[in-house]
A and B are shown apart, each in its own frame.
Chain A
Amino acid sequence: MLELKRPPLMNKAFLKHINRRQFLAAGAGGLALLEASGIRWVHDNAASPEHYLPETMGPGCAFLDYDNDGWMDIYLVNSGTCDFYKPKKPIRNALYKNNRDGTFTDVTGTARVPGGTFGMGVAAGDYDNDGFPDLFVTAYGRPILYHNNGNGTFTDVSEEARLGAKVFEGHWTTSAVWFDFDNDGRLDLFVCSFVDYGTDSHLSCGDNKLGRRFYCIPRVFKPTASLLFHNNGDGTFTEVSRGTDIEKSLGKGLGVVATDINNDGRMDLFVANDTVQNFLFVNRGPDAKGKTQWEEIALAAEVGFSDDGRARSGMGVDAADFDGDGWQDLFVANVDQEMFSLYKNNRNETFRDVAFKNQVAQATRLLSGWGLRFLDYDNDGALELFLANGHPDDMIDNYSQAVRYKEPLLLFRQENGQLKNVSAESGPVFAKSFPSRGLAIGDFNNDGRIDVLVGTNGGPPLLLRNNAGQGNHWLGVKLQGTKCNRDAVGARLTWSAGGVKRSRLKNSGGGYLSSHDMREVLGLGTAAKLDWLEIQWPQPSGRTERFTDLPVDRYLTVTEGQGLS
C-alpha cells in the first residue's frame, strides 16, 4: 500500500515570496517566520570572559521522526552545567514535534530528553530495531543514550547500556554515528573524541598583558582516541576499539561519516580531526577470531593532510558519490585559509582533491566550515552541497580584515558534472551571516524537497524551507530492515528514471554534531515515471529487491523482504 504524504497547507502570502530555486529562512534572521515555526529555543553557548573552548563548539541538531508518524521532528542540543559553567537558570535541549502544518510544538518535557550536561551533538538511530529512533547525545562531560520508548517518551539508559560516565572519562565527545560495522543486523556506535581539555584546570589562551583572552587553538591540547562500541543486541554495548587502529590513532575528532569507500560491503569511517591529520579507518572485516580489523589509511589515501603535507583543522565531513561513478567521494571542511577539500575516489583506496576544479576551494578560502551535507536539493538527480560556516573565534573581527565571526551559508549546485556556487541566487538567507555550527537535512514538510536545519552558536536555530526544483519529480523512500539493521544503514539504492540510471549508498552520520532525516529522496528530474528501483540490503541478508511501476512525488516505505507499504 502506498501512503501519500500531502504537503502542508501554506499561507498564500507566504508562498508568493518564494522563488523557484530558493531556500527560505524560518528561524533566526527570518523573524516573522520564527514565530510561525513555533521554535523558540535558543542555544546558550555559556560565553564567558575566560573563553573556555567548549563554548564555541556547539550546537548540533537533528531531524528525526521520534513518534514514527511520518513527519520529521527536530532535536536541538544545548550547553549545560559543567566544571566551568553554572547556569543561573536551567538550560535544556529541545525536542520539537512536527505539527504537520509548518509549525512545531516543544515536547521536551513530556518526551524526557532535556539533556543535562554540556551537550555538543546528537546521533539518532534505532539501535534496538524496534522501529523508533533512539538518541545518543554527545557532550563535554557525560554523554547520554536516550532509548525511545515508542510512546512519545524516552529513557536515559546510558548506564544500563554500559555507555555511562566512566566509559567516557577523559573524553569530550563530539560527533557520533550509528552504523553496523560487523553486518550483524544491529547498529553499533562510533563516538568522536575531541581534545583532552584537562580535569583540574583549563588552559587559558590570550594576551594576559592586555587582558584579552581568546579560545585556545586545539593544537595546544592533547589528542585522544575515539571510541567504537559494539551493539550486543541486549541493550548493552561493548567497547571494541581497544588494540585496533582506532585506539592507536590519537586525534581530535569533530566530524565522522560511516560509508563504504571500497565497495566491499563493509562500512568504513572517515573522521575529521582538528589540527591533526584526518583518519580513514577502513574496515577489513573479521580476523580469525572474529574481531573486526580496522586499518587507518588516511595518509596513503591522500585524505589525511593538505597538499602541502599539513594537518588542517578538519571539522565537518561527509561522503557521497557526487560524480555518480559508483564510488563514495569524501568532503572535509576546515578553518579559514586552509580551504575545504572535495576528495574524488580513485577507486583504489586513494583520493584526489578536486575542490579547486569545483569552485569549492576558492569559495571557502576565508571560511571555517562545520555542518555540511551532500544533498539533491532540486531533485534533478545530481548531488549538490550545502555548507554552514562560522569562525570559532568570537574576536576574529577585531584582528582580521577579511575573516568574520559570522559567515554566510554556501550552496553548490552540480551542473555538467561540476559544482558551481549558486548561493547568490538561492535566496536572501545566503546574503546573511551566522555563527553556524551543526546542520541537519530533512524534509520537514514532506513536499519531497529536502530542507535544512542549522544550529547557530549562542542563537536560535535556522530552519530553511526548500522551494527549489518544483518542476522536478521525486520519490521518497523509507527503508526498513528486518534482517539488516532497521535503519538500513549501508543499503544501496539504484534506480532508473527517464533512462538515466543512478545509485546511492545509505551512509550514516556526516556533517558536524548532527543527524539527518533517515529517508532517501530520489530526484527524478523531469521524468514523470520511475523505470525501476533496486535495493541491495546490507548484510546479513545482502538480498537485492527490484521494484517497478512505482508512483512518484510521494513517500513510500520499503521493508526488507516484505515489499512496499
Chain B
Amino acid sequence: MRACGRALGFAVWLACAAMALQQPSPDTLLRRAIELHQAGDIPGAIAGYRAYLKQSANSVMARSNLGAALSKAGHYEEAIGEYRQALELEPGNLPVRVNLALAYYKTSQISAAAEELSKALQQQPSNRQAVFLLADCELRLGEYKKVIELLAPLEKESPNDKALIYLLGTALIRDNQPAHGQLLVDRILREGDSAEARLLLGTTKMNAQEFPEALVDLKKAAELNPQLPDVFSYYGLALLSTGDMAGAASAFRKELESNPNDFVSNLQIGVLFKQDQRYDEARSSFERALRVRPGDPAVRYQLATLDLMIGNVEQACSKLEQLTGETPQFVEAHVSLATVYYRLKRKADGDRERALVLKLNAESQAAQPGAQMQ
C-alpha cells in the first residue's frame, strides 16, 4: 500500500510540474485580463484579474480593475471589497477612492459614499466629479447646508452649468432659502420649461405650504421627465398634503420603480403600509430607507413603533431607548417609550418618560405665538 501511495504521489507531482510549465506568467495573465476588460468580456476579465491576483495579491492596479469589472457586472458589494483592499495598499489612490464612493452610491450606502468623497476632496479639492457626486449624496442625506457650502463657491465660476444650478437650487429651496433658490429656478426657466425647473418650483411651493399650486408644477415635472430623480417622491408628498393618499401611494411606487432606494418614497410608502396594517411591507420599506440614510431618527422611530404595534415590545424598547438617548428632544419617541415601559410594567420608568413628554410639550407650547398673547 505504501509503495502504491508513493507511486501515486510522484504521478501527481509530475502532473503539477507539467501544468506549471504550461501556465502563463503573471504579466500575461494581467495583460489578457485587461484585453478582455477592454473588449467588454467582463466575466472573462474578472476571472483573469482574480487569477493574476492569486499570484500578485498586492497589485493595486489589478484590484482596482477587478473592482471596476465587478461594478460593471453589477456586483457592487464585491467591488467594494476589492476597492477597499486596494486602498489599504495605497490609501492615497484618488481614482480608487472615487470608484469606491461610486460603488457605495450604487448600493445606496450614501453616507459611506459621502465619507469617501469627502476624503477624496481633501486630497484634491478641485475634483469636479467628486464635488458633484458628494453634493448629490448630501442632498439625498438631507444635508442641504453642506450642499450649499460645496456648490455656492462654484456658482460664479460656472453660472451656466445647469447641473450645478439645479443641485444648488434644490438645496437652497429644501433648506428654506427661497429667495436665492428662486433666482436659480428663474435661471433654469430661461432655458425653457423643464422638468427640473418644475420640480424646483413645486418644491418651493410645497415649502410655502401652497400645496395645490405645488401639485400643478410637480405633476407637470413628472410629465416632462418621469425619470427625473425625486420627481414622483415630491409629487407624492404634495398629494399626501392634499389628502390624496391613494394618489400619493401610486406616486411613491412610481419613484421606487425607477429608483428603488429613494429615501423619501420608501419612508412615506412605509408609513402608508403601516397605517394599512401591512406590516411586512412597511418594514421592508423602512429598512430600504434606512440603508440610504443609516441612523435616520424618523425611520428608526417608524421601525420601533412597528415593533410595538406587532407586540415586539422588548425590541421596541431597545430601539426607543437608543433613539431617545441620541435625540432627547424627540417627543414622539418619548411617548412611545413611556408606552413601552408601562406595557412592561416598569411604572417608574414610564412615569419618568411621561414627565419628559409633558416638559417637552410645555416647552414647545411656550414657543407658539399664542403664548405671548394677553
Contacts and interface: CB of A to CB of B under 8 A. Distances in A.
Given A401-B215, A401-B242, A198 B370 contact: yes
Given A300-B350, A400-B212, A401-B244, A308 B371 contact: no
Given A200-B374, A201-B373, A309-B336, A299 B368 contact: no
A221 interface: yes
Contacts of A337: 243
A307 interface: yes
Contacts of B365: 222-223, 276
Given A398-B212, A399-B210, A221 B332 contact: no
A399 B373 contact: no
Interface string B332-374: 1111101100110001001000100100011001001111011
B370 A336 contact: no
Contacts of B339: 299-300, 302, 309
A221 B368 contact: yes
Contact of A220 (B242, B343, B370): B370
A10 interface: no
Interface string A274-307: 0011000000000000000000000110101101
B305 interface: yes
B28 interface: no
B370 A203 contact: yes
A545 interface: no
A196 B244 contact: no
A239 B305 CA distance: 40
Interface string A297-336: 0011010110111110000000000000000000000001
A403 B243 contact: yes
B331 interface: yes
B211 interface: yes
Contacts of B215: 401
Contact of B371 (A222, A299, A307): A222
B309 interface: yes
Contact of A307 (B309, B357, B362, B370): B309
B342 A220 contact: no
Interface string A398-424: 111111000000000000000000000
Interface string B295-318: 000000110010011000000000
A299 B332 contact: no
A276 to B, nearest CB: 7
Nearest to A399: B212
Nearest to B302: A308
Contact of A219 (B302, B338, B368, B373): B368
A366 interface: yes
Contact of B245 (A222, A302, A365): A365
Contacts of B342: 299-300, 302, 350
A534 to B, nearest CB: 35
Contact of B370 (A221, A276, A365, A403): A221
Nearest to A276: B361
Nearest to B362: A250
Q: Is the interface of B mostly helix, strand, loop or mixed?
A: helix
Contacts of A307: 305, 308-309
Contacts of A223: 365
Interface in B62-77: none
B210 A299 contact: no
B58 interface: no
Interface string B257-280: 000000000000000000111000
Contacts of A398: 212
A299 B244 contact: no
A84 interface: no
Interface in A119-138: none
Contacts of B305: 307-309
A208 interface: no
A299 B212 contact: no
A356 interface: yes
Interface in B156-189: none
A305 B335 contact: yes
A299 B277 CA distance: 22
A473 B230 CA distance: 61
Nearest to B374: A200
A400 B211 contact: yes
A339 B338 CA distance: 22
A48 interface: no
A195 interface: yes
A305 B335 CA distance: 8
A116 to B, nearest CB: 25
A220 B369 contact: yes
Contact of B331 (A195, A199, A201, A309): A309
Contacts of A198: 370, 373-374
Contact of A222 (B212, B301, B302, B373): B373
B180 to A, nearest CB: 19
A164 B99 CA distance: 77
B338 A299 contact: yes
Nearest to B335: A309
Contacts of B239: 401
Given A399-B212, A403-B243, A299 B370 contact: no
Contacts of A401: 212, 215, 239, 242-244, 247
B190 to A, nearest CB: 26
Contact of A203 (B210, B308, B343, B369): B369
A250 to B, nearest CB: 8
Contacts of B301: 308-309
A337 B245 CA distance: 9
Interface of A: 195-196, 198-203, 216, 219-223, 250, 276-277, 299-300, 302, 304-305, 307-311, 336-337, 339, 350, 356, 361, 365-366, 398-403
Given A203-B369, A222-B373, A300-B350, 19 more contacts: A198-B374, A203-B373, A216-B370, A219-B368, A220-B369, A223-B365, A277-B361, A299-B342, A300-B342, A309-B331, A365-B245, A366-B245, A399-B212, A400-B242, A400-B243, A401-B239, A401-B242, A401-B247, A402-B243
23 contacts: A198-B373, A198-B374, A199-B374, A200-B373, A201-B374, A203-B373, A222-B371, A223-B365, A300-B338, A300-B350, A305-B335, A308-B305, A309-B334, A350-B343, A361-B275, A366-B245, A399-B210, A400-B211, A400-B242, A401-B243, A401-B247, A402-B243, A402-B244
Top 10 A-B pairs, shortest CB-CB distance? A309-B332, A402-B243, A309-B335, A221-B370, A198-B373, A401-B242, A300-B342, A403-B243, A220-B370, A200-B374
